[in-house]
Structure 1
Amino acid sequence: MNLLTHHSPTSYDTWKQDFDASTEMRMNAGLTLLQLWRDAEGTGVTALFEINDRKKAQDWLDREDQTNGPVNGRFMKTA
């Protein structure tokens, strides 16, 4: 299963520093970063993660939205 997230930071550089610093937290939540895209225009960021525990991933998503939000996430599986 995968998780696709979209982040809307006010500053990409600040967000990226925080994102890189929280790698271990994401790993503990069972998320593996597969791809990271930055909007060609603006500061939006989209990330694709592989997840191994949906509940842990949902808990991470909820915390991320409250502390570093806004973040939108969609759980997806291969069709």
Structure 2
Amino acid sequence: MTRQLLLRHDSFDQAAHDAGAEDRAAAGLTQLQLWRDDTGGHWALFSVNDATRAKAWLDKAASLGHAPSEHHFLETL
């Protein structure tokens, strides 16, 4: 099974997202897709190589006040 992480951002800064690529990679995340929905929200899909590090990355983002609006860990069947 493959684990993935789906994030939604109500507000999105492309430059800040791009600048965070190294931190996401260190957290075991690889970006697969980035979408914008019709309400202006942004969704990002990542493959997860290390769930523990990915969860720690989410916790750190929340503590710094820039966590995604929502997130979901998914597994392929």
- Unaligned stretches of 5+ residues in structure 1: none
Instruction: Letter of the 2:43 partner, please give it.
Output: T
User: In structure 1, how many angstroms separate the alpha carbons of the residues matched to 2:73 and 2:46?
Assistant: 10
CA RMSD of aligned residues (A): 1.3
**Percent of pairs with identical residues:** 42
- Unaligned stretches of 5+ residues in structure 2: none
Equivalent residue of 2:39, what SS?
A: coil
Q: Which residue of 2 aligns with 1:50?
A: 47
Q: CA deviation at 1:70?
A: 4.3
User: In structure 1, how many angstroms separate the alpha carbons of the residues matched to 2:53 and 2:31?
Assistant: 15
1:8-55: per-residue Cα shift (whole Å, max 9, x none)? 11xx3xx1110001100000000000000012232x111100011001
Say which structure is richer in helix: 1
Instruction: Call closer, same or farther: CA 1:70–1:28 in 2, change over 3 Å.
Output: closer
Pairs aligned (count): 74
Instruction: Point out 4+ residue stretches in structure 1 off by more than 3 angstroms.
Output: none
Q: Give 2:16's match in structure 1, choosing from 18, 32, 35.
A: 18
Partners of 1:5 and 1:48 within 8 A in 2: yes
